[in-house]
Structure 1
Amino acid sequence: MNGSTLLVLGPRAWILLAVLLCLAAVVWRTALGRSPAQMLLAGTRALIQLAAVALAIGWLSGRGTLAFAFVALMFVVGVWTSGRRVAPEGRWWLAAVPLAAGVVPTAALLLAFGVLPLSALAVIAVVGQQIGGAMSTVTLAGRRIRDELALRNGEVEAAVALGFQWPAARSMVARPVAGEAVLPAIDQTRTAGLVTLPGAFVGMILGGAEPLDAGLIQLLVLVSLLLVNACAASVTLWLGCRGAWHAAGRGGLPGP
């Protein structure tokens, strides 16, 4: 536990972990008026899930076929998480469409070029990051589009009255804000090495990899996430402009 050259682990690390989580819950409650249980539950779940995933990955390391089943489970959880954020009372399962639109073609390109090997650890690590990035993008884009359409509903109806179809009218309002969900990925990529050192890059350097090789791998991950997030946001916009998340007349989206 104390062999890390990045952080000093041990009993004090566990105590600090509890302190950090409690402080985060206090700020979440006092400054933002949210339930501290949300923050505490998130930290507790992360602990349990990371422990379980570490054991699962170790077991899957020599079982390539089962790695894809594990990735499929990650995808289902991502759909549930982002879908319930965007449309908790609607067609939340449609989150599978933008997630797949971002992850599948990007992962296929990595496999086709031979950059991503068909090994359990590589597939889980790389595709898992892509699913996580797409999940965050769908959540942010979907909620931002939903709120913008509800807030500017009058503008959408006015455009329809002028002869626009509903999807086109909604797009005029929603398209400018849909791309905001991709900005964190863009900022992370353009500041890599200046503001932050990505975890995979640091881990490979500490593991003895050549710096240039580690940089190239991290760059591939970051740029692939740009494609994942851009595709996910685009399809989320397409669904939102067609009122696909809710039945007609629900969720602040009137009309067909």
Structure 2
Amino acid sequence: MAIVDKSTLLVLGPAAWILLAALLVLAAAVWRLALEGSPAQMLVAGLRALVQLAAVALVIAFLANRGAWAFAFVGLMFVVAVWTSGHRVAPSGRWWMAAVPLAAGVVPVAALMFAAGVLPFNALAIIAVVGQQIGGAMSTVTLGGRRVRDELAVRRGEVEAAVALGFQWPAARLMVGRPVAGEAVLPSIDQTRTAGLVTLPGAFVGMILGGATPLDAGLIQLLVLISLLLVNSTAAAATLWLACRGAWVREPA
């Protein structure tokens, strides 16, 4: 018999686990047959998510009343994000440079939220809000970094022509890279524009289920969405800045 939990929107039970396995196998099949990807990559991602979410749930429960330790956990999240984005953008280069755009996007916004008193010194709040910001910045750095990198490679002739006309290398790369760098921020803009129309964001639904008023839940979700706009825009700008200065790659001697 399925377990009905009033605190969730879905019916949990054995059917949920069977469905999870079926969805993962189907995703791996489509990834392999239609997109020629490695099915192992998809399967490992799903299994890792299972293990990691279980571990994170236990850690968050332990940190519930330990605000200072939450920063250590957020620091771990940041390191993993740097590793992930960095190896996507510069797998054989200076992948650790991903820390610059990630920090540029997350740190100022989180500091503003703390300074305004909106983000309390509470472990669950810190992990939830700053964790979302790190995740958003990570996706932006990955998408923006790869997009700018590929554009500079394809249009290298235009960059060299601009340098021949007297432009410095960073300025020449900027003319090519700037129009595409902002594409990494478009998903955040669309998510914000369509909030409440296309999807109901997770924080909003969670607050409603937790007993918050619709107005309070909407304000909290709006704070998260708007903060992500600033985080992701800043991360994309910093990613472009690094790419224009050749910071991601090791220049030949």
- Give the secondary-structure state (helix, strand or coil) at the position aligned to 1:107: helix
2:60 and 2:35 map into 1 onto residues whose CA distance is: 37
> Match of 1:99, SS?
helix
Which of 174, 191, 209 aligns to 1:206? It is: 209
What residue identity is the alignment partner of 1:85?
R
Is 1:139 the equivalent of 2:137? Answer: no
Name the structure 1 match of 2:100. Answer: 97
Residue type at the aligned position of 1:102 = G
Q: What corresponds to 1:188 in structure 2?
A: 191
Any unmatched runs of 5+ in structure 1? 251-256
Distance in 1 separating the partners of 2:199 and 2:185: 18
- Which of 58, 61, 67 aligns to 1:58? It is 61
CA distance in 2, matches of 1:228, 1:110: 12
Aligned partner letter, 2:4: N
Q: Counterpart of 1:9 in 2: which secondary structure?
A: coil
What is the deviation of 1:65?
1.0
Q: 1:177 aligns with which of 160, 176, 180?
A: 180
**Counterpart code for 1:7:** L
- Given candidates 168, 176, 182, the residue that maps to 1:165 is 168
User: Shift of residue 55 of structure 1?
Assistant: 0.1
Secondary structure at the counterpart of residue 115 of structure 1: coil
Match of 1:240 in 2: 243
Q: d(CA) in 1 for partners of 2:158 and 2:174?
A: 11
Which among 111, 114, 133 is matched to residue 108 of structure 1? 111
Q: Aligned partners of 1:8, 1:34: CA distance in 2, in Å?
A: 32
2:89 matched residue in structure 1: 86
Identity across aligned pairs (percent)? 80
AA aligned to 1:2 is V
Match of 1:25 in 2: 28
CA separation in 2, counterparts of 1:175 and 1:67? 36
Q: Which segments of 5 or more consecutive residues in structure 2 lack a partner in the other structure?
A: none
Aligned residue among 1, 4, 7 for 1:2: 4
Query: How far did 1:5 drift?
Result: 4.1
Letter in 1 for 2:172: A
Cα separation, 2, equivalents of 1:27 and 1:183: 26
User: 1:253: which partner in 2?
Assistant: none
- Decide which moves more: 240-249 or 81-90: 240-249
CA distance in 2 between partners of 1:86 and 1:98 (Å): 12
Deviation at 1:2, TM superposition (A): 2.9
The size of the alignment, in residue pairs, is 250
Distance in structure 1 (CA, Å) of the matches to 2:84 and 2:189: 23
- Give me the whole-angstrom Cα distance separating, in 1, the residues matched to 2:228 and 2:4: 32
d(CA) in 1 for partners of 2:118 and 2:50?
31
1:63 CA displacement: 1.1
TM-score after normalising by structure 1: 0.96
* 1:172 aligned partner, one-letter code: M
Q: CA RMSD in A?
A: 1.0
1:184-215: per-residue Cα shift (whole Å, max 9, x none)?
Answer: 00000000000000011011111111000000
Q: Residue 186 of structure 2 aligns to which amino acid in structure 1?
A: L
4+ runs of 1 displaced by more than 2 Å?
none
